[in-house]
Amino acid sequence: MKKCFYLTTAIDYVNGQPHLGHAYEKVVSDVIARFRRSLGQEVFFLTGLDEHGQKVQLAALAEGKTPQDYCDLLAGDWQRFAGELDLSHQDFVRTSQLRHRAVVQAILTKLQNEGHFYRAEYRGFYSTRQETFLTEKDRLPDGTFDAIYGDVTELVEDNYYFNLRDHQKWLIEYIENNPDFIAPNYRRNEVLGFLKNNELENLCITRPISRLGWGIPLPFNPGYVTYVWFDALVNYISVPASYGDPSVMAALPGLKLDEPTTNQSLSLWPADLHIIGKDILKFHAVYWPIMLKAIGLPLPKQILVHGWWQKDGEKISKSTGNIIDPVAVIKEWGLDAFRYYVTRELGIGPDGNWTDAGFASRYTSELANGIGNLLNRSLVMLRSYRQKIIPARHDELASETERTVTKVRQQLLEPDLQGALLTISGLINHANKYIDQTAPFKLAKDPTQSQRLDEVLYNLMEVCRILGVLLWPFLPSTADKIFKQLGMVNAPDDFNLATWGGISQGHVTNDPAPLFPRRDTVPTKT
């Protein structure tokens, strides 16, 4: 069984509102998934929802629903959201699914039997909002706790703990010896700095059922449910288990899946890419590797950490109304314009800033006046001067295009999505200038220049075709439109099609239609 290229997003809290940050992470992941598929790789792209925890329990109660009913309702919204973004995911995991619960419980049983857990009394403070324990160290100078923790209560509680301390040394060595494990590099340094300067606190992995019912019951003590993060991280292997992944099945011989979701067998683990935001780095780069090591599984190949979006230089926040509703933007400007802006504006790493004016400006100058104008002018000229028929092959723009294709391929492998879009823009601008310089509209008036006009038109049409292939992972429906207008019968979803000379003499194109109609307005307030 050949191993798939397996990539994941973080799983979103079911009770949150889908926003720009979630959309960004998913679009980035989708571009990578589509690109890998266009290289001919078998890809498995997983996204989904994190459903357990006290906040969900309380919200369900407030609405008079069971937590499961409440989650089922919200899960519908999130699945629709994935559809609005045209994600090409293979599966959508929900931590309330039985297939997930079975794997979490098998892991808990295994680690308990192998002595990774111990029981102890906890005395201290607890934040319900963050679902986390706090210590004296978390107090502000005035003795209170930061507002992000909400109401902090004092409690005494018996719980199970996962012994992390013994894992600190190998984890530091592993991160040092595997420079690509955490990217970008400054995030890797952050984790190393944390691990080298702090002794790891053991992780409390349970909550008493009296305080929290909505969670995965501890298989060896029905008085407890599993801590949400221990539960949520496991999604990355519970889905592979549901496809009979050989390495996960071998590590969990006690696992019984009552609810086979599929009879398709896949080899997925280890993941090639976990794509996450910077706020959840510690969970993925410290707790998760330790959990995997204890389970006896290899670590994911890379944790790719993106930054956070702001809007107009301020934190995105529902309470202050400083939000962007991706669905409203998509409705007004089209999905591809949204996908383009988020991947072009923000590289994977630093924080980014959304401005409505910036969005409108990229739409006009890079989409409408860039690829839109290039395709439209080229097709209109071919229709006017050559009855839509492609002339004989000519290679004037071949080497520039080939350089672009090689660079985009390498940038997408890295993956540097923003860099790849910049490289693609370079070719679009080059081709638009080529029209200005060769002036086909003048050539068309001079019968002695007929061959030169053929050459120019061939080069333009072929550049447009290859741009369709390069843009496909980012802008799938625009790329499809480009191919349709060029009269291609195949889809632009195969990177091998980005080879010069693919459009042949005598081929007949279709009528042009604007890819990105010009707009005079900035987006309405969302």
- Smallest gap, in angstroms, from Cβ of residue 368 to ligand MSP? 27
Position 92 contacts ligand MSP (CB under 6 A): no
Position 67 contacts ligand MSP (CB under 6 A): no
* Token couple for 325: 């509703």
Would you give the binding string for ligand MSP spanning residues 252-281, x where CB under 6 A is met?
A: ------------------------xx-xx-
Q: Which is nearer to ligand MSP, 10 or 431 (CB)?
A: 10
Position with the least CB separation from ligand MSP: 277
- Smallest gap, in angstroms, from Cβ of residue 348 to ligand MSP? 11
Position 309 contacts ligand MSP (CB under 6 A): yes
- Smallest gap, in angstroms, from Cβ of residue 55 to ligand MSP? 11
- 316-345 residues in contact with ligand MSP (CB under 6 A) are 316
Please, are residues 356 and 523 in contact by the beta-carbon 8 Å criterion?
A: yes
With CB under 6 A as the contact rule, which of the stretches 12-20, 105-113, 120-128, 482-490 interacts with ligand MSP? 12-20
- Smallest gap, in angstroms, from Cβ of residue 324 to ligand MSP? 9
Strands (DSSP E) contained in 98-151 are 117-127, 132-134
Q: What is the dihedral of CA 399, 400, 405, 407, to 10 degrees?
A: 110
- The size of the interface with ligand MSP (CB under 6 A), counted in residues, is 19
Report residue 214: phi and psi, to 5°: -90, 85
- Smallest gap, in angstroms, from Cβ of residue 323 to ligand MSP? 10
Give the chain's length. Answer: 526
C-alpha separations of 491 from 189, 409, 484, 495 in Å? 42, 18, 9, 11
- Smallest gap, in angstroms, from Cβ of residue 309 to ligand MSP? 4
Q: Which is nearer to ligand MSP, 309 or 472 (CB)?
A: 309
Angle CA 398–477–383, to nearest 5: 55
Position 12 contacts ligand MSP (CB under 6 A): yes
Residue with tokens 């391929």: 409
Q: Which is nearer to ligand MSP, 13 or 458 (CB)?
A: 13
Report residue 118: phi and psi, to 5°: -145, 165
* Token couple for 417: 């999505």
With CB under 6 A as the contact rule, which of the stretches 13-21, 103-111, 454-462, 490-498 interacts with ligand MSP? 13-21
Helix (H) or strand (E) holding 311: strand 309-311
With CB under 6 A as the contact rule, which of the stretches 14-22, 161-169, 333-341, 362-370 interacts with ligand MSP? 14-22
Q: Which is nearer to ligand MSP, 149 or 308 (CB)?
A: 308
- Smallest gap, in angstroms, from Cβ of residue 124 to ligand MSP? 23
Residue 5 to residue 44: CA distance in whole angstroms = 6
Position 308 contacts ligand MSP (CB under 6 A): yes
Longest dimension (CA), the chain: 93
Dihedral of CA 62/67/72/77: which sign? positive
Dihedral of CA 107/22/151/57: which sign? negative
Please, are residues 242 and 145 in contact by the beta-carbon 8 Å criterion?
A: no
With CB under 6 A as the contact rule, which of the stretches 10-18, 72-80, 187-195, 491-499 interacts with ligand MSP? 10-18
Strands 309-311 and 314-315: antiparallel
What does the binding site for ligand MSP look like in residue numbers (CB under 6 A)?
10-13, 16, 21-22, 24-25, 50, 232-233, 276-277, 279-280, 308-309, 316
